[in-house]
Structure 1
Amino acid sequence: MQQARPTKPSRVFDRAPEWDALISFVTRPLPHAALGVVSGRRRMGKTYLLRALVEQCGGFYFGATDATEAESLRQFSAALAEHVGSPVPFSFATWDDAVSYLFGLAVPGHRTAGGPAVDSPFLVVIDEFPYLVKAAPELPSLFQRMIDRFQVEESRMRLLLCGSAMSVMGGLLASSAPLRGRAQLELVVRPFGYRAAADFWGVADDPALAVRLHAVLGGTPAYRRQFLADDVPSNLGGFDDWICRTVLSPFSPLFREARYLLAEEADIRDTALYHSVLAAVAQGNTTRGGIAGYIGRKSVDISHPLNVLEDSHLLVREPDVFRAGKSQYRITEPLINFYEAVMRPAWARLEGGQAAEVWAQAGERFAAQVAGPHFESVCREYVLGAGRAMLSTSLGTVGGGVVTDPRDRRQIQIDVAVVEPGSGGSRPSVALLGEAKWGTVMGHAHLERLGRARDLLATRGMDTSHCGLACFSAAGFSDSLRAEAAGGDVLLVGLDELYGRAVPTGLLS
């Protein structure tokens, strides 16, 4: 009789796809060893999720610390001895001995401390694996050797290596790395999406508050409970006081968090250079040339910091969907963007306790450099998720781009676009063109600009026959634009629609 799959504990918020992937990995009926790699930036709840997995499935969990090789081996040996019920701690001479013993526990028929023989998957979770690799660089090679051996011999081993140093974890399976091609699972635990984050913070019924919280703190689970002890603004009117007593207060754990996030990445040495790169992007210099000019370097000189920040999942390069070879950079961690745009320029004043004064003067910067760009990314996320139903065609590439208008000598910025690349004899097509505004009531001028962009793309050979136009606004729409949307051919999406509290106005052909 097939055993029921372990269910996700109710205390684990969201994460249903991640839980299903982990359970499938553990319970897959393979007679050989299997390796999984779980990564994600700090504070995402990886440890919480993996501990729940071990509780539900059984197995061995070890959380590494930043220690010397000898101390790390001693800690691992003691934890393993406790797991198998040994009355005395183990004393392995080398990591080779420890790894060999660990894999021996997963051999079918093996018994520990008088327990039953192993005939079901043996789950092993090694958390913060980069700490161990730093102390013992040979560990990936040792695991590779044992996995290769138990791809021939029988084993019930289900090994999960987990870590927060994204550059290190990404390198485990890259290029000529020892574990390349050995993993059956590669899971990245990402921040909550904007809707899940609103539910997690308990503000889903207040979209104006929810989107501001998400623009500052993103979808990082630890910030609510571990950092702020459930200090949540009760309504939009309490947002200003809340941000002054939390993120902008030198007595709050969140005050220096953005700095710590950068310093924790193993490949980042010159933090001043990396902060300058991030500050350039936060200030609106989103191209490679713009970033280089802002920090006073040549474009070729910033290739390494850009690559490291991308590998660390702190920066993402987003291609222009209309212009091949063009791209823009975006900071993926909202708290870092908020720090670079609002906090870093006024750091001395904030340390001196002038949070209220700094925040009162930061309104324009917050709107232009934090909330506005963040709102655009939320709108793209909406189209990728809940808003897919509004498209009459299959979902293509979702992004943004620039359409050049030679007649008027201007560039039309498209914040939300859905483009389907051509294949065979078919032309590339555009399914959606959208503009997103944070603090502007949108009217006919915005719709006309989108229509002009659609005409220009058609003259370039793109199929726009099924291209809809969409206006996204956090501030609302003019009465005339609402009347136009009621007749069809344009879609209006506000905060209520983004958060699922209303149906978008209008229809797309």
Structure 2
Amino acid sequence: MDKPAHVFDRMQEWAGLSAFVVREQPRAALGVVSGRRRQGKSFLLEALARESGGLYFGATEATEAESLRLFSDALVRHTKAVPEHPFRDWNDAISYVFRQYRDRPTAVVIDEFPFLARASPALPSIVQRELGPGGSGQGSLARLLLCGSTMSVMGSLLSGQAPLRGRAGLEMIVQPFSYREAAQFWGITDPRLALLVHMVVGGTPAYREEFVAGDAPDGLADFDAWVLRTVLNRQSPLFREARYLLAEESAIRDPAIYHSVLAAIATGNTVNGAIANYTGRKPDQIVHPLNVLEDCALIAKEPDLFRSGRARYRITEPLVTFYEAIMRRHWAELERGRNHTVWEATRPTFDKQVAGPHFEAICREFAASAEADVYGDVPAEVGSGVVSDPAGRSQIEIDVVVLAAQESNAPRRILSLGEAKWGEVMGHGHVRKLERARDLLTAKGYDTTATVFACYSSAGFTVELRAEERGDLVLVGLDQLYSGGERAGDSAG
């Protein structure tokens, strides 16, 4: 099926969904589609159902009896056939669906599936039974797609001992747009402005179309005014969105501790001990909140690539970081309409606690998708790491570490060591720091014979560094972030 023109990007997702629907398989098939709210899952699946002549049913919070009536009504409208008897329960409904679609492969989309599963806990087991031997799914050409935004629920459907484990022929997580895709979606061609906007709203499609009605900043000079009229505007839907993201997750029972954990991470306390100190809890008392936030895809645990067992936490939703770092502590003032005062006072905080860490994460994203000619080989693992310097009694933090694939009976090859600076012109001092880290890692047994030093900066590089003629240095400025990186001497930075 051709992707409709009104669906922006999502080429891989559309290809996967299309292939799932039209596959030749003489029995019903199950697909699970998940992703955080506002990513366009429903928009995508509605388009799929429309293009394929399938059924789309969006569940609501309701009792089992009402949900069954609504589902039956949707089936009647689509099939033009009335069930002989009203559905008594989901046993009747699922078997009826599979029996109805036997002529051609047909998409049957059940959106917001967690609403149904909450009211009818046996529903996943019923689907599993009907898909199995002797079930009504045998001989059916229905392509059942279960979709939902409650990540903790959707993630458990196919895990462990869950009834549907091993039954799905498709498992898809609809992610936010990448920073490059987001720039195109917002229609922003200035890389600095595109990155600033991404630091606030990330790559969530709904924030542009539904929440700010297409209001994009008109150039760099308009960015501050755009922040004031959108995310810091108490009359804008974007104003309370970060709070709602937590409230919508059923696994979060006590929002206070979760907000405190997120605030800790947003203000630079990214390891377990520091988060515990910030929240006033013991380290073992925050393990559960961290696990829940990770299951909800609101934070990610990123291992230190040079220290086994060490990890840092990062908030995955930029709007949540912006809320925790900028808005939460000034909430009373913002609700009184004093957004100009708050933004003026917190602009330095934005640069330090929002822009800086976000820029580092974007640089790692750039490195992970880089072609082999940027670092000399295809990156296998990208992250950050800390290198101990005993002689200097210090620790060297490496913002962007690029590793090659592990080869048997050979030391791990470090493709690149990188430093990322938001708002700081980079020079030879930054390279010397990376060289020192390289020497220490060589002594630890890493293969650094072809390690490339990478400087990532939004403010540019010194004239001396730009003129450096060496094959082991990559300069990545904002233009390169949005177009690709090159070796020093070939790049203007």
**Could you tell me how far 1:91 is from its partner in structure 2?**
2.5
Q: Which amino acid in 1 is paired with 2:242?
A: A
Q: Give the structure-1-normalised TM-score.
A: 0.94
Cα–Cα, structure 1 residues 257 and 216, in superposed 2: closer, same or farther, change >3 Å? Answer: same
Cα–Cα, structure 1 residues 348 and 387, in superposed 2: closer, same or farther, change >3 Å? Answer: farther
State the alpha-carbon separation in 1 of the partners of residues 39 and 372 from structure 2: 27
Q: Which digits, 9 at most, give the CA deviation of each residue in 1:325-374, with x for residues without a partner?
A: 11000000000000000000111111111111111111221011111111
Structure 1 stretches of 4+ with a deviation exceeding 6 A read 87-90
Give the percent of matched residue pairs that are identical in Structure 1 and Structure 2: 56
> Which residue in the other structure is 1:80 paired with?
75
**Could you tell me how far 1:90 is from its partner in structure 2?**
6.7
Cα–Cα, structure 1 residues 320 and 389, in superposed 2: closer, same or farther, change >3 Å? Answer: same
Give the counterpart of 1:64 among 43, 59, 71: 59
Number of corresponding residues: 490
> Which residue in the other structure is 1:359 paired with?
343
State the alpha-carbon separation in 1 of the partners of residues 380 and 405 from structure 2: 7
**Could you tell me how far 1:437 is from its partner in structure 2?**
0.3
Question: Contact between 2:424 and 2:459, CA under 8 Å: does it hold in 1?
Answer: yes
**Could you tell me how far 1:97 is from its partner in structure 2?**
1.0
Q: Which amino acid in 1 is paired with 2:204?
A: T
Alignment of 1:319-338 (within 5 A): 319-338=303-322
Is 1:91 paired with 2:86?
yes
Q: Give the structure-2-normalised TM-score.
A: 0.97
Question: Contact between 2:368 and 2:381, CA under 8 Å: does it hold in 1?
Answer: no
**Could you tell me how far 1:310 is from its partner in structure 2?**
0.4
| 1:75 alignment partner, SS class | helix
Is 1:473 paired with 2:472?
no
> Which residue in the other structure is 1:268 paired with?
252
Give the counterpart of 2:34 among 39, 43, 51: 39
**Could you tell me how far 1:435 is from its partner in structure 2?**
0.4
Question: Contact between 1:341 and 1:366, CA under 8 Å: does it hold in 2?
Answer: yes
Give the counterpart of 2:324 among 327, 332, 340: 340
Instruction: Decide which moves more: 65-74 or 265-274.
Output: 65-74
Is 1:13 paired with 2:8?
yes
Q: Which amino acid in 2 is paired with 1:44?
A: Q
Question: Contact between 2:389 and 2:440, CA under 8 Å: does it hold in 1?
Answer: yes
> Which residue in the other structure is 2:270 paired with?
286
Cα–Cα, structure 1 residues 405 and 160, in superposed 2: closer, same or farther, change >3 Å? Answer: same
| 1:471 alignment partner, SS class | strand
Q: Which digits, 9 at most, give the CA deviation of each residue in 1:86-138, with x for residues without a partner?
A: 469972121211111111112x3xxxxxxxxx1x2121100000000111111
> Which residue in the other structure is 2:301 paired with?
317
State the alpha-carbon separation in 1 of the partners of residues 263 and 119 from structure 2: 33
Q: Which amino acid in 2 is paired with 1:483?
A: A
**Could you tell me how far 1:504 is from its partner in structure 2?**
5.9
Is 1:141 paired with 2:125?
yes
Give the counterpart of 2:471 among 488, 494, 497: 488
Unaligned regions of 5+ residues in structure 1, if any? 1-5, 109-117
> Which residue in the other structure is 2:172 paired with?
187
Question: Contact between 2:419 and 2:434, CA under 8 Å: does it hold in 1?
Answer: yes
| 2:297 alignment partner, SS class | coil
State the alpha-carbon separation in 2 of the partners of residues 164 and 217 from structure 1: 18
Q: Which amino acid in 2 is paired with 1:196?
A: E
| 1:432 alignment partner, SS class | strand
Cα–Cα, structure 1 residues 151 and 181, in superposed 2: closer, same or farther, change >3 Å? Answer: farther
Is 1:201 paired with 2:186?
yes
**Could you tell me how far 1:83 is from its partner in structure 2?**
1.3
**Could you tell me how far 1:482 is from its partner in structure 2?**
0.8
Alignment of 1:134-283 (within 5 A): 134-149=118-133, 150=135, 153-203=138-188, 205-283=189-267
> Which residue in the other structure is 1:3 paired with?
none
